[in-house]
Amino acid sequence: MRVAVVGGTGPFGSALAQRLVEAGFDVTIGSRDAERAAAIAVEVGAARGAANAEAVTEADIVVLAVNASAVLEAAAELDEAIGETPVLVVASELRFAKGVAFPSDNPLSLAARTQQLLRAPVVAGLHSLAAGPLAAGAVEGDTLIFGDDEAAKALALELAEQLVTGRALDGGPLAGARALEDMCAAIVNLNKRYGGHGGLRIVGL
């Protein structure tokens, strides 16, 4: 599978690219700065670096690994280049007050708002994975993928199962991503309070 990681020069994007390269995926790291992308690709090894628009052109799936505040802008800028290639949104839009994480006040998930900007099918997932643990290897636990397009969701699930020690699970339609973003705020607060790297594990399935 050919994967374009937009925002692949950041901590999460580069860790994601590393894990996918190790799993045998064909990875292109995208950035607004093509030279920076190329430098990170060398560090990752067996990956390519390119400007974002070039990176997404021949991908089977595009991962928007930019910061939450930049997701909508990046999607709008890359709409034409992405075309109908499935897009995986991994960011949760959180707000912070006095060191506590809160979910966004927007009733729609960041992924759902991204879908409004793109012709491509959008799926959401990996929200409970953090850059630090992912950089060290597969993250303990399960991960959930949400989407309305079954083919796009299948690609995201195939990618996601390489990133966790547990399972990548189909969580249902894209509307469910709102609940996952809320859960991400809870996980951030738990990790801060207890000094760990908690995630998700689904039992009984």
Residue 180 in any domain: the answer is: yes
Residue 205 in any domain: the answer is: no
Residue 96 in any domain: the answer is: yes
pLDDT at 197: 87
Residue 152 in any domain: the answer is: yes
| 71 confidence band (pLDDT: 50, 70, 90) | very high
**Looking at residue 97, which CATH number applies to its domain?**
3.40.50.720
Residue 67 in any domain: the answer is: yes
- Helix, strand or coil for residue 97? strand
| 44 confidence band (pLDDT: 50, 70, 90) | very high
- Helix, strand or coil for residue 62? strand
Contact (CB, 8 A) for 90 and 114: no
pLDDT at 3: 98
Residue 200 in any domain: the answer is: no
Percentage, residues of the chain above pLDDT 90? 95
Residues 7 and 9: their CA atoms lie apart, in Å, by: 5
- Provide the residue range defining the domain that includes 116: 2-194
Amino acid (one-letter) located at 119: R
Residue 127 in any domain: the answer is: yes
What is the per-residue pLDDT across 103-148, written as a single tens digit (0 to 9) for each? 999 999 999 999 999 999 999 999 999 999 999 999 999 999 999 9
pTM metric for this prediction: 0.95
What is the per-residue pLDDT across 8-26, written as a single tens digit (0 to 9) for each? 999 999 999 999 999 999 9
Number of structural domains found in the chain: 1
Residue 28 in any domain: the answer is: yes
Q: Mean pLDDT throughout 33-40?
A: 96
pLDDT at 60: 98
